[in-house]
Amino acid sequence: MPIVLACVAGLLAVSALSLPLLRHRAATAAVYSACLAISLVLCAAAVLSIGQADSETVLPLGLPWLGAHIRLDPLAYAFLAIVNFGAASASLYAIGYGRHEAEPARVLPFYPAFLAAMNLVVIADDAYSFLFAWELMSLASWALVMARHHAAKTAYAGLVYLIMASFGTFALLFAFGLLAGAHGDYAFDAIRAHHLSPGLAGLALVLAVVGAGSKAGLVPLHVWLPLAHPAAPSHVSALMSGVMTKVAIYAFIRVTFDLMGAPAWWWSLPALLLGGATAAIGVLYALMETDLKRVLAYSTIENVGIIFIAIGLALAFKASGLPGAAALALTAALFHSLNHMLFKSTLFFGAGSVIVATGEQDMERLGGLIHRMPISSAAFLAASMAISALPPFNGFASEWLIFQSILVSPQLPRMGLKLLVPAVGVLLALAAALAAACFVRAFGATYLGRPRTTAAGEAREADRWSLAAMLTCATLCLLTGLFPGIVIDWLQPAVTVLVAGQMPPQAAIPWLSIVPISASRSSYNGFLLFAFVAVSASFAAVVVHRFASRMVRKAPFWDCGYPGLGVVAQYSATSLAQPIRRVFATVAFAAHEQAEMPPPGDLRPASLRRFLRDPVWHFMYAPVASAVGASATLLNHVQFFTIRRYLSFVFVALIVLLVVLALWG
Amino acid sequence: MGITSALAAQFGQMLLVLALAPALTGLTRKMKARLQRRIGPPIFQPYRDLRRLFNKDVVLADNSSWLFRVAPYLIFAATWVAAALVPTFQTGLLFSWAGDLIAIVALLGAARFVQAVAALDTGTSFGGIGASREIMIAALAEPAMIMVVFTVALVAGSTQLSTIAAFMADTGGLRVSLAMALVALIIVALAENARIPVDNPSTHLEVTMVHEAMVLEYSGRHLAMIELAASLKLLLYISIIACIFFPFGLITDGAGLSAHAISLAAYLLKVTAASLLLATLETVIAKMRVFRVPNLLGVALMLGLLGTLLLFVSGGM
């Protein structure tokens, strides 16, 4: 406990101390090194102490009669580890990457504050400090998004982010208000003791979904995410996508599993429905996008959907009195949160290095970088395979656990859930397959083929710090995929607290396999599969080279006899997605193409236009935005009245109020 | 039973599928030719093709990367390991618990991922067209396959293929969901193996090809590895269908020598029958347009979902 508090205070101190040093040349390296060191300490402390007893304290800060309650329980430790590992790797990356920042003074003070705020959200134990930390997190990340305020899109992104963040905080505020009750105390202990009627619980649940979901990026509350995450510097994008969404997921888990008490079965419905929709639509959005960082941001939305599916399953199991199955699903959710932090950080680091090396982030203007940036491309490839849920990487291990928890859900007593869960399973499988398509496309268009611009052709490999961060995260993607049992066992204290059940201890399973419920059902062994594939591949290569041919001739590529076509004739990111666009997006996004072929003799160029309609924006936000605009225009007239009319308004208002008072009394 | 015999069974099976896979391709081609009143190449022609390819030089494109050279071995190894996890004539293989049916699907998915990125490596338009169509087909075939896995796993109470096969052999019986799963699995198998009506394994016409377009830049031993992996994948799918839906003749570890002979003969019989059916199917139906393939795969997906739903509603387990 003292370590954690000291570290958070240290981060805030770094933030404050960075202010006078901003002009100094070494400021970037100093701030990020300090953040790296503090985050590593916090991460190590959290990893080591997850099994320990809860510790709480009240700091004399915040509201005078409430104080700031701080509590460290296994769930907080699990998320502290996730947050601080992500923070440490982002800081390591930024020691190198931050040197390329045009205006470091716009990033350095807010970065440690952002890290501190995320830690505070996780350890807060009363609604006031929670919301204060939550809002600090929003504002610090907003300031980081606005770091590159000169870009035209950034201001818009910042505006949308600010609106959605305030909206989400409002929802959480009301949720806590409901949870605390009319005479409630805002300390979480009091909230736990207070029980709500089903109607109020439902309202609080909806508010929690809106509040946490808007920060996590649940469809349809996701609109700010693909704007804001890519607008920030890349290490901050990695933090926002990989870590801040996890803090939002922490908030949802904390409210639904801990504060609201024993769940009813229908609590799982919003998480399952929205999670399934988010997973499938998020990755479809990603496939339509050509900006590399926006692709990654949309894929974050997809992964948040996957995590919410697992949370929904866990809620359903817990409510139905199946603690073993609930433990399985909740472990899957936490494990996938950890995994997503690892691979999404790697991917954003890779994207950041590409932007530093080429100045481009549109995949249509990249290509061929595997030759110029071999190490970072290997890390990006590993993370792409991990996020596509392919063995032996970690993404597969956690999705395997989710599939296994779907397979135990026929035990659920409710018919509604029985019909819903298979449909959610289809969406999950669809999302996994489309994610593979998405990352074949992202990796292929960015790193493979021939460079589409001279900038891409002259790229240079990233610096040592960035490479170290990327390789660390990519290696961990592999290691947690090879030995998932260690992570699962480590997570069990947190799971046990929340669902009063746990998965079978994986360390007891021979050969490092993992099993979901009991040994007889199913098992998976990532390490053995990896070893088999590695051995077979090397064996095949050795045998072929030894006993058959080992000769290589270099030649121009063949391309079925048309090698003379230029680099623009390569398949681009847009054309790679064309079949999927035609199959899926004609329904989801009303996608269509308009080809214009001038007749022979006409000298106009032929053109092909692509139209997509974002259904969420079109049907939900655009009407609200235009209504706000229209009412603002109407109210605009009020601004130009004469003083006499204003005075008469005041007079009428006064009379009306008095009449109302008189009638009331 | 000692560990040695278990190891022998495991490695014996790995070698068996490796040795058998080209013959299956040859047999299918031969039967297809005979059905079309051609003589066709001998059944063992694929072995000769492979030997010839293995001994040829590799012609590498100037701008290909390390990925392009590593990919064939990775594709082959992932497919081979997946095939090693499928019981052919004996269940309860030594390493079968290392990966269940979901892991097998994912291993094949990993092979496809590597294949698609390798196709994009040289930056040719053919590689691109193949990869873009392959990911579209996979985006529907993979969920359909997962739904089939769900259906089967809910019936048998496990996703472990050996357990499923043993369960089916013991308690078998007809179930509506299993029939749906079988149809869905056959459609998925046709799509995954680039067979008619989804893709044509013997075409080189640019508007129609998917798999062949992806491997267009490969030559020599690299091409041989990919061809061998493709044959292995076909055998793997036939083995999956055989061991789930037609599990007769399967033995468990520790059976006698004569039982081994009978079960091996039963397996060969099943593979031959599947090959004959495949050849007939490919002869009597035409290839679909690329953009009608999603309808077919959508049918598979819906059948898989219906099968799963039925099991969920009827209480499952």
**What confidence tens digit (pLDDT) does each residue in A12-59 have?**
999 999 888 888 888 899 999 999 999 999 999 999 998 888 888 988
Quick: pLDDT tens for B23-33.
999 999 999 99
A347 and A478, same domain (yes or no): yes
SS3 track for A101-168: CCCHHHCCCHHHHHHHHHHHHHHECEHHHHHHHHHHHHHHHHHHHHHHCCCHHHHHHHHHHHHHHHHH
Can you list the alpha helix ranges (DSSP code H) found in B36-124? 45-55, 66-84, 101-121
Residue B306 pLDDT: 93
B116 CB neighbours in chain A (<8 A) are 440, 444
The residue ranges of chain B whose pLDDT is under 50 are: 316-317
| Number of domains chain A is built from | 2
Q: What is the mean pLDDT of each run of 10 residues along chain A (665 residues)?
A: 90 91 86 96 94 87 83 95 97 93 89 96 94 96 92 91 94 93 84 88 95 94 94 95 96 94 91 95 94 96 97 95 93 97 97 94 93 95 96 94 92 87 94 96 95 92 95 96 94 93 84 74 88 94 91 86 80 92 89 89 88 90 94 88 90 95 87
Chain A, 533-562: which have a CB under 8 Å from a chain B CB? 533-534, 536-538, 540-541, 544, 548-549, 551-560, 562
Judge: A529–B81 Cβ closer than 8 Å, yes or no: yes
Quick: pLDDT tens for A338-382.
999 999 999 999 999 999 999 999 999 999 999 999 999 999 999
The answer as to whether A112 is a domain residue is no
A417 and A535, same domain (yes or no): yes
The answer as to whether A355 is a domain residue is yes
B-interface mutation test, from A558, A565, A575, most B Cβ less than 10 A away: A558
> For residue A375, which amino acid is it?
I
A534 and A630, same domain (yes or no): no
B9 and B90 Cβ atoms separated by less than 8 Å: yes
Judge: A440–B131 Cβ closer than 8 Å, yes or no: yes
Could you say which of A520, A542, A564 is where a domain stops?
A542
Residue B316 pLDDT: 44
Chain A, 93-152: which have a CB under 8 Å from a chain B CB? none
| Number of domains chain B is built from | 1
Judge: B135–A580 Cβ closer than 8 Å, yes or no: yes
A335 and A470, same domain (yes or no): yes
The answer as to whether A590 is a domain residue is no
A563 and B132 Cβ atoms separated by less than 8 Å: no
Quick: pLDDT tens for A403-448.
999 998 888 888 888 889 999 999 999 999 999 999 999 999 999 9
Residue A236 pLDDT: 96
- Look over chain A and give the mean of its residue pLDDT values, rounded to a whole number: 92
Could you say which of A509, A542, A575 is where a domain stops?
A542
B127 CB neighbours in chain A (<8 A) are 571
The answer as to whether A642 is a domain residue is yes
A466 and A373 Cβ atoms separated by less than 8 Å: no
- Closest residue in A to B292 (Cα–Cα): A583
A404 CB neighbours in chain B (<8 A) are 159
A416 and A535, same domain (yes or no): yes
Residue A434 pLDDT: 96
The parent domain of residue A511 ranges over 325-542
SS3 B195: coil
A538 and A623, same domain (yes or no): no
In whole angstroms, give the CA distance from residue A661 to residue B127.
78
Judge: A436–B107 Cβ closer than 8 Å, yes or no: no
A374, A433, A450 ranked by CB distance to B143: nearest: A433
Residue B317 pLDDT: 42
The residues pairing with B251 across neighbouring beta strands, listed in sequence order, are B90
B243 and B172 Cβ atoms separated by less than 8 Å: no
In whole angstroms, give the CA distance from residue B135 to residue A167.
38
B56, B109, B308 ranked by CB distance to A436: nearest: B109
- Look over chain B and give the mean of its residue pLDDT values, rounded to a whole number: 89
| Phi (first) and psi of residue A126, to 5 degrees | -145, 155
Shortest alpha-carbon distance between residue A83 and chain B (Å): 29
B309 CB neighbours in chain A (<8 A) are 419, 422
SS3 track for A22-54: CCCCCHHHHHHHHHHHHHHHHHHHHHHCCCCCC
Integer-rounded Cα Rg, in Å, for chain B is: 19
- Closest residue in A to B293 (Cα–Cα): A583
The answer as to whether A96 is a domain residue is no
Could you say which of A542, A564, A584 is where a domain stops?
A542
A500 and A639, same domain (yes or no): no
The answer as to whether A476 is a domain residue is yes
The residues pairing with B145 across neighbouring beta strands, listed in sequence order, are none
Quick: pLDDT tens for A468-521.
999 999 999 999 999 999 999 999 999 999 998 888 888 888 778 888 876 557
Tokens 């869905």 -> residue: B184
A529 CB neighbours in chain B (<8 A) are 81, 98-99, 103, 107
A-interface mutation test, from B112, B199, B205, B221, most A Cβ less than 10 A away: B221
Judge: B123–A368 Cβ closer than 8 Å, yes or no: yes
A390 CB neighbours in chain B (<8 A) are 106, 109-110, 113
Residue B204 pLDDT: 67
Q: What are the CA-CA distances from residue A48 to residues A74, A77, A333, A335, A497 (Å)?
A: 11, 9, 21, 17, 17
Residue B32 pLDDT: 93
A410 CB neighbours in chain B (<8 A) are 154, 311-312, 315-317
| CA count, 13 A, side-chain hemisphere, A318 | 32
A526 and A436, same domain (yes or no): yes
A504 and A518 Cβ atoms separated by less than 8 Å: yes
Class of residue B202 by CB neighbours under 10 A (exposed 0-12, middle 13-18, buried 19+): exposed
The answer as to whether A483 is a domain residue is yes
Instruction: Count chain A–chain B contacts defined by CB atoms under 8 A.
Output: 287
Q: What is the ipTM of this complex?
A: 0.95
Shortest alpha-carbon distance between residue B276 and chain A (Å): 31
In whole angstroms, give the CA distance from residue B47 to residue B24.
11
Q: Which two tokens stand for residue B67?
A: 């990925």
Interhelix angle A27-48/A74-97, nearest 10 degrees: 160
A244 and A217 Cβ atoms separated by less than 8 Å: no
Judge: B123–A536 Cβ closer than 8 Å, yes or no: no
Q: What are the CA-CA distances from residue A15 to residues A86, A104, A164, B80 (Å)?
A: 18, 13, 26, 54
The parent domain of residue B212 ranges over 3-313
DSSP state of A569: G
